[in-house]
Amino acid sequence: MATVEQAQTTIAVENPATGEIIREVPVTNDVAAMVARARAAQSAWEALGFEGRARILKRARQWLLEHADEVVATIVAETGKAEEDARLVELAYGANSFGFWAAKAPKYLGDEKVHTGNPFVLGRKLVVRYRPVGVVGVIGPWNYPLVNSVGDAIPAMAAGNAVVVKPSEVTPLTSLLIEEGLRAAGLPDGIYQTAIGAGDVGEALIDAVDMVMFTGSTRTGRRVMERAARTLTPVSLELGGKDPMIVLADADVERAANAAVYYSMQNGGQTCISIERVYVEAPIYDEFVDKVAAKVAKLRQGPPAGPGSIDVGAITFPPQLEIVQRHVQQARDAGARVLAGGKQREGAGRFFEPTVLADVDHSMTAMTEETFGPTLPVMKVADADEAIRLANDSPYGLAASVFTKDVARGEAIASRIQAGAVCVNDAAINYLALELPMGGWKESGLGVRHGAAGIRKYTRSQALLVTRFAPKREIHFFPYSARVTKLLDRGVKLWYGRNPRRGSSAP
Ligand code: NDP
């Protein structure tokens, strides 16, 4: 594991799949100075405009693709994930993201002309502008060091901000490598910097920046928001989840079973939008459970050794192993059947066996708390109404999925589920469509990443009103007079009272 040594001067980064120490990195001891450097560099970056910034972001994408093997090796080494989870998820997301935000920033952030129906303002030019906030602090978790730390920095930079990224102390190497790549691509000094350290470094960052993008647990998310409140710094939070999957009796059971296994075990189940619990209608419950148990039993696990070598990687964060163990043990003690896996894997590295739990219910933490590991708990339900009620019986609301051949019914069920994203006959891949906003409801977060709102959050809107042709004195200027007031009052009543299009109840 990553340990902080000698009064927090260095962090030893461990490979969770082997237990080896990969590298020691120095802790950042002056976050405020780093943010000051970012602030000094930001205005020239903003002045480059969308085109100038896009040129550099596209060169960064080129660098990423040319250095794909090195980036993938770094991600795999510090997380212990399967090569596919690094190459096909993280690297591909990064390549998409650099190009997407370079191309879309002008569309999402270009000046917007608006018109007003208010007669007092008629004739003026009205514009909404999106100006960068200045310096964005990105605080990231350990499960996706490229997607969830670097990935959030890309739209922030495309919007004209400087960024300081604080990756998890467990996985700092990817962000440091991307910093090198961005420099090679011509990014000016100070626009992307990596602050290394634990929660105290995160707190110092919150104190100094103009906006915080945080991904991690709900518990830490609350602390981040409390801290940011001291300086009235805006926050965007993507927090925990307990994503439900509903399988209706008319679903393609084979596809549903394959999807359940993949989206619960991919990245070792350490994905914010992993399938964390499954509700299956009674008529197909036994068939579904048999299928997922057989498929999970065949999954290969161990230290990754290149493409196709394993399916399910390591548990990246040491305390996570205890959480997974506790949830499985509690379910077992309360009567759940363990149909595959169920315990820590023996041998080197930190692994938990891919696990299927059947006959679970909401008295078990495996169904109510975020497990964040390779587990698939499956519960039998009488009908869709019961499945929806149970899906919504959670403090979380990140994402959900519904499997049915009747897609119209699937869409109707989606609109009854309390979650920021719902897939019908799929799961999680909505995250790859950067055009779609992605954010949690309830205790799963605040704000979104992706889509127009996912870049506008890195800006402040500025309302611009320009009066070009105007009299020396407007009718409502001082001095007030009874005659003018009466005239204007009559005008207001006529304007709003007689015209039904202005929301009046007039005839
Ligand atoms: P945390 O939420 O604790 O950590 C996320 C980031 O916040 C890390 O960089 C962490 O630093 C930093 N941090 C910790 N304390 C503070 C603070 N007071 N102020 C500012 N930043 C802080 O998540 P963990 O990584 O510890 O994981 C805990 C749980 O969160 C998991 O069990 C899982 O359930 C959930 N999780 C959810 C994710 C998601 O994508 N929704 C991703 C990862 C985890 P450092 O780690 O270096 O101490």
The reported pLDDT for the residue numbered 503 is 53
* Listed residue (410, 378, 360, 357) closest to 250, CA to CA: 410
- Ligand 1 proximity of 218 Cβ (cutoff 6 Å): no
- Ligand 1 proximity of 237 Cβ (cutoff 6 Å): no
pLDDT tens sequence across 368-394: 999 999 999 999 999 999 999 999 999
Q: Kindly report the pTM of this predicted structure.
A: 0.96
* Least confident piece of the model among 1-5, 314-318, 340-344: 1-5
Provide the β-strand partners of residue 397: 441
**Cα(4) to centroid(ligand 1), Å:** 16
In the chain, the percentage of residues whose pLDDT exceeds 90 is: 95
One DSSP character per residue, 139-167 reads E--SS-TIIIIIHHHHHHHHTT-EEEEE-
Give the residue with greater pLDDT, 500 vs 386.
Answer: 386
- Name the band, by pLDDT with cuts 50, 70 and 90, for residue 238: very high
Neighbours of 34 (CB within 10 A): 22
Is 272 noted as a catalytic residue in this protein? yes
If phi over 0 gives left and psi between -120 and 50 gives alpha, with beta otherwise, what is residue 341? left
**Cα(217) to centroid(ligand 1), Å:** 5
Contact between 430 and 399 (Cβ < 8 Å): yes
- Ligand 1 proximity of 445 Cβ (cutoff 6 Å): no
pLDDT tens sequence across 134-155: 999 999 999 999 999 999 999 9
- Name the band, by pLDDT with cuts 50, 70 and 90, for residue 7: low
Distance CA 147, CA 153 (A): 10
Is 179 noted as a catalytic residue in this protein? no
Q: Which residue has the tokens 């007092």?
A: 120
Q: What is the mean pLDDT of residues 13-35?
A: 98
Distance CA 113, CA 153 (A): 28
Angle between helices 68-79 and 49-66 (to 10 degrees): 70
The number of angstroms, rounded, from the C-alpha of 455 to the middle of its chain's C-alpha atoms is 13
Nearest atom (ligand 1) to Cα of 241 = 41
- Ligand 1 proximity of 139 Cβ (cutoff 6 Å): yes
Closest Cα to atom 29 of ligand 1: 217
Q: Over 50: is that where the pLDDT of 251 sits?
A: yes
Q: Over 70: is that where the pLDDT of 427 sits?
A: yes
Task: Give the mean pLDDT of the chain.
Answer: 96
- Ligand 1 proximity of 276 Cβ (cutoff 6 Å): no
pLDDT tens sequence across 406-417: 999 999 999 999
The reported pLDDT for the residue numbered 414 is 98
In the chain, the percentage of residues whose pLDDT exceeds 70 is: 97
The backbone torsions φ and ψ at residue 5, rounded to the nearest 5 degrees and listed phi first, read -120, 160
The reported pLDDT for the residue numbered 498 is 76
The reported pLDDT for the residue numbered 306 is 97
Contact between 11 and 3 (Cβ < 8 Å): yes
N-terminal to C-terminal alpha carbon distance within the chain: 74
The reported pLDDT for the residue numbered 504 is 44
- DSSP three-state, residue 234: coil
- Cis-peptide into 479, omega within 30 deg: yes
Q: Over 50: is that where the pLDDT of 356 sits?
A: yes
The reported pLDDT for the residue numbered 6 is 43
Contacts of 60 (CB under 8 A, 6+ apart): 98, 181, 182, 185, 187
Q: What is the mean pLDDT of residues 347-373?
A: 98
